[in-house]
Structure 1
Amino acid sequence: MSLLQSVSVLRKSFHLVGNRSFAAAAASDEALVKTALNELHKELGGDMVPFAGYELPVLYKGTENGGVMKEHLWCRSAGKASLFDVSHMGQIRWHGKDRVAFLEKVVVGDIAGLAPGSGCLSLVTNAKGGIIDDTVITNAGDFVYMVVNGATKFGDMKHFQEQMAQFDGDVTMEYLEDSMQLLAIQGPGAAEAVSKILPSGFDLTNMAFMTGTDTTLDGVDGCRITRCGYTGEDGFEIAMPAEHAVSIASKLLEDPTVNPTGLGARDSLRLEAGLCLYGHDLNEDINPVMGSLGWTLGGPGSRRRTEQGFLGADNFLTPDGKLKKQSQKRVGIMGMKAPAREHAEIYDATGENLIGEVTSGTFSPCLKKPIAMGYVSTPNAKNGTEVMIKIRGKMQKAEVTKMPFVETRYYRVPE
């Protein structure tokens, strides 16, 4: 973030919604930013910690359903839903007649192919093909709506500004800063819970996964709902004006099936679902194919793989759109007796040859056993391959396995 302290916000193509300047917001030594729900978190027993420059709850203390393990299992339980404050994430609106053409230069996804209301997970790449960030992008009709990670949002916007300076077209980036707050409600009971604050007649049954729309929430105008999430469950991300965030969150929490949930459970839930955490499982030296995310480019023969045109494409795609072989791949790992943490070394079955490193690891509350993901040399990336992991100085047997570790339950519209 410190690289952004000198970035000017006066460029005519950049519009900041909020009170803080772009440069000041990027400064790493500032006091932690408090979301609109900060006091509510504390009232609910939130154990507040620094995260991505914000003060956010890692878990909730002193409540019947508080603590990482209970919060995690609640989100997976039938009829239940978990409420997360994800207002640290960056919300961007892209305007201008050439907004799609620009975005297809900086992300790998088929943005032109998104029908109004439809979205996709995509990746922002650099000139080497490395991943700058992962992002959810939705065609909102009159604009394109993008959500980026909180820890990387200022770096992302600096990168976008640099690319816009080289782009000959009509595109404007509108950063919503903290004027819009973002909540996620996830779990088997998420649709039932969120339906109580949606307008009567809003049809969630026909709202597909990775689609979104503007709406009112609990009678508040200027809100947005997207069916997506970071847990492997059905769920929604809902954006609302900051001044209404507490009332909307409180309304949701009046439902006894909804439980406030912190960063700790959010991390273990996403790992069970095989989802990446940027800065750990992905970084600027890892390209989409290494990261086992080649599917974000589309299948063989897809427009984005054949036309390319985005930064770094030639580093992981052949001229005819085939995925280039990589020296390493991201894999799931199970079988060890103790959790393997980030940077734990992975060896081949003999324990003699270093073949990779763990990037995320935890104890799975649902499986009741350790799980991890990491990178191994491609010859060792096949499911079922035996490996050894050095955990606390001792070698433990493990096995490469497919992800997700638990069955995902993303919503499908009934046929």
Structure 2
Amino acid sequence: MADSTETLLETPLASLHRELGARMVPFAGYAMPVQYPAGIMAEHLATRSGAGLFDVSHMGQAELVGEGAAEALERLTPADVKILKPGRQKYGLLTTESGGVLDDFMVANLGDRLFLVLNASRKDVDCAAIEAVLPAGVRLNRLPDRALVAFQGPGAVAALATIAPDVSAMRFMDVLAVEIAGITTLVSRSGYTGEDGVEISVSAEEAEELARALLALPGAVPAGLGARDSLRLEAGLCLYGNDIDETTSPVEANLVWTIGKRRRTEWNFPGAERVREELDNGPKRLRVGILPEGRQPARGHTPIQVGGEVVGEVTSGGFGPSLNGPCAMGYVAREHAADGTALDLMVRGKASPARVAPTPFFPHRYAR
């Protein structure tokens, strides 16, 4: 969270949030809507049943342009970027020389360039790291004059298709330039809620017009950071700074699937030595899903014990509105990571029983 004395940045939708009655909070240096008058629970459930509109304009957007852009990006990520076909997107990790996670990101192949979406709190770090490895002829263009909104839920694409028919034929992780209500946008069929839906990149000056057009669609509601967090937690998706950071490896984080098959034969990405060692011999700890047995949520930094001994820590936790109960993720020593393992969560000094559980807690509903 940002220091209260710091001047917070605002997204292009700030005045619309206030008009809609949002409660604004500091997040990654921005004033962001945590919830609207309906509340986090209602926004979460409305996204699960219809369509929620989230402002994610605080995220970093950038493009890599020039011959060899994919090869250049692979100097910083174990993802196979070269395999990405035009009009397709993938999730990847930027890694450090010590095998930690510098950030997680999205990369799309737009044919003549790569389009990147980076975390708000890490975008400056990421861009500096990328620029440091670029060869002559490849350049990184930051796109601070663009906004980003996520329109998520089982009704989102059908509703959007009434004003932008092209989106209905898109598959999960497709990316397409689409005109919506007369506005030129870049749409990816992806998101951070576990639901079907889209993320839409748009020029900052047209962002409010786009958001109003989306909110006018049937079943659409504005949703804030609170619902975004509970949705992604139920979906078992990592939040940078909580569940992954420079101390966690892709293997520990259970994100080995982001490492390209070819990259596992080349071992030429930052931190490859640690990743290879952990793949061969197993990591000391693993990220797991956790279901508390009672109604008491366990928040981040809650110690995890087995037989009175601390074996790990909760990294994300809260109440899952779709589960109607608490859920969490955290790291535990590998020998305690099997599904069904009994744990004690030390909530305010008292042991609260829980079990290791598979994620997602709520099924993903992507348009595969």
- TM-score interval, normalised by the smaller of the two chains: over 0.9
Match of residue 36, structure 2, among 60, 65, 71: 60
- 2:276: which partner in 1? 317
After superposition, give the CA deviation of every residue in 1:162-206 in whole Å (9 maximum; x if it has no partner): 333xxx4431000001x11000000000101222332x5x1523x
Match of residue 251, structure 1, among 207, 213, 237: 213
Equivalence map 1:11-410=2 (5 Å): 30-61=6-37, 66-77=38-49, 80-164=50-134, 168-177=135-144, 179-198=145-164, 200=165, 202=166, 204-205=168-169, 207-221=170-184, 223-298=185-260, 302-318=261-277, 322-337=279-294, 338-348=296-306, 350=307, 352-410=308-366
Distance 1:125 1:287 in 2: 8
5+ long unaligned stretches in structure 2: none
Distance 1:197 1:30 in 2: 40
Amino acid at match of 1:150: A
Cα distance, 1:324 vs structure 2: 4.5
Cα distance, 1:28 vs structure 2: 10
Distance 2:99 2:44 in 1: 35
Query: In the comparison of the two structures, how many residue pairs are matched?
Result: 367
Contact 2:196-2:366 within 8 A present in 1 as well: yes
Distance 2:180 2:249 in 1: 38
Distance 2:63 2:287 in 1: 31
Find the residue that maps to 1:267 and give its secondary structure. helix
Amino acid at match of 1:71: E
After superposition, give the CA deviation of every residue in 1:36-75 in whole Å (9 maximum; x if it has no partner): 11111111111111111111110002xxxx1000000111
Amino acid at match of 1:297: I
Contact 2:158-2:168 within 8 A present in 1 as well: no
- The share of aligned pairs that are identical, in percent, is 44
Contact 1:316-1:324 within 8 A present in 2 as well: no
Find the residue that maps to 1:106 and give its secondary structure. coil
Distance 1:28 1:144 in 2: 36
Note the aligned Cα RMSD (angstroms): 1.8
5+ long unaligned stretches in structure 1: 3-26
Contact 1:271-1:360 within 8 A present in 2 as well: yes
Amino acid at match of 1:93: E
Amino acid at match of 1:277: L
Distance 1:324 1:134 in 2: 24
Cα distance, 1:208 vs structure 2: 1.2
Deviating 4+ runs (over 3 angstroms) = 27-30, 321-324
Normalised by the length of structure 1, the TM-score is: 0.85
Distance 1:186 1:88 in 2: 17
